Amino acid sequence: MVPLKNDRFLRALMGESVDVTPVWMMRQAGRYLPEYRATREKAGDFMSLCQSPELACEVTLQPLRRYAFDAAILFSDILTIPDAMGLGLYFSTGEGPRFRKTVRNQQDVAALPIPDMGSDLKYVTDAVSLIRRELNGSVPLIGFSGSPWTLATYMIEGSGSKDFRHAKALMYNQPEVMHALLDKLASAVTVYLNAQIEAGAQAVQIFDTWGGILTTPAYEAFSLSYMRKIISGLHKESEGRPVPVIVFTKNGGLWLESIAASGANCVGLDWTIEIGQARARIGDKVSLQGNMDPAILYSSPASIRAEVARILESFGSGNGHVFNLGHGITPHVDPDNVSAFVDAVHELSASYHR
């Protein structure tokens, strides 16, 4: 593999010194970019875009042609594993992801196959290999998966949900069935992320999008424990250097200490917790990623720069900070505002790393 020209993202994840705070953005390949919208239209639909390694590579690289991001993230979807288990993922305009089949009982769980990475999800690993080749060492590539709990909520509900009534009812009424599902998903996610690492991913992120809907005991039992299991089973090194793991639980600020003790190298933060307070709570045990409110990108470049400055000041001097949004960028953001964001991070953070 070609040596990395810019490794500050990987260095920051491991708490090592950097010249400036690295920055990338969740959903950085997405609908706010006109070139992405054009490629998606060419693909015909979202799943066709995901399942074409060439088109997935193209949209992964698009934001890097515009902005000085310090990492690329594989273009894919968190629901590829349930789709490969035969649930029939599809996307309806304006409605988000939906499944043709749901998982509601012990028989449904028992019938789920563990996906074969060499056939069912080969399009993902092929995309990773192609992206790494096309990046040519410019920046690292992030692989990812949804957390078992987050995947389970979609599989049980059949789509997104406001109250997660089917998932929570199964969890409380038949915890043994929920644990069987989560255990099967944890095994699949471990194999999936290791396949991405083997194909060239240099860091991985677990998106625990719906962990924050749980009570504290339920979060530990039904979400964090399975992410801990995944982390323990991941390849620790590749190509002669560590492969850092990021855990991002949306609305997970209550549980920072537990997440930091999960074995992850970095805790992703949403915007509901102050990053300086998070750093004070967990010290230098792990690095922190985050955590600007994505809605700031609807404001002026001056306001964006001021908020970047505030977050950098809150974190303070030293290492272990990867700048990111507190969730994914939203579709109607002006692409020029992303330039203001990325440039501000690099320009304003240098003084914190002297």
List for the chain the helix, strand, coil content (%; round to 5): 50, 10, 35
Cβ–Cβ < 8 Å for 149, 184: no
d(CA 339, CA 187): 39
Active-site annotation holds for 31: yes
Counting every residue written for the chain, the total comes to 354
Active-site annotation holds for 40: yes
| Catalytic site residue from 27, 37, 66, 241 | 27
d(CA 203, CA 7): 11
For residue 31, the number of C-alpha atoms closer than 13 Å in the C-beta half-sphere is 7
Burial of 239 (0-12, 13-18, 19+ CB in 10 A): exposed
Question: What residues are designated binding site for substrate?
Answer: 27-31, 77, 154, 209, 327
In degrees, to the nearest 5, what angle opens at C-alpha 112 toward C-alphas 176 and 167?
45
User: Could you give the 3-state DSSP secondary structure of residue 182?
Assistant: helix
Q: Are strands 266-268 and 287-289 parallel, antiparallel or unpaired?
A: parallel
Active-site annotation holds for 27: yes
Within the chain, what is the greatest distance between any pair of CA atoms?
Answer: 59
Cβ–Cβ < 8 Å for 297, 345: no
Q: Which residue has the tokens 């949804």?
A: 146
| Catalytic site residue from 32, 36, 67, 154 | 154
292 bridge partner residues: 325
Q: CA gyration radius for the chain?
A: 19
Active-site annotation holds for 77: yes
| Catalytic site residue from 7, 77, 83, 270 | 77
Q: Which residue has the tokens 């045990």?
A: 285
Question: What residues are designated binding site?
Answer: 27-31, 77, 154, 209, 327
Q: How far is CA 215 from CA 30, 103, 157, 223, 224, in A?
A: 32, 22, 19, 11, 12
Nearest residue to 338 (alpha-carbon basis) of 64, 85, 118, 84: 64
Residues classed as catalytic: 27, 31, 40, 77, 154
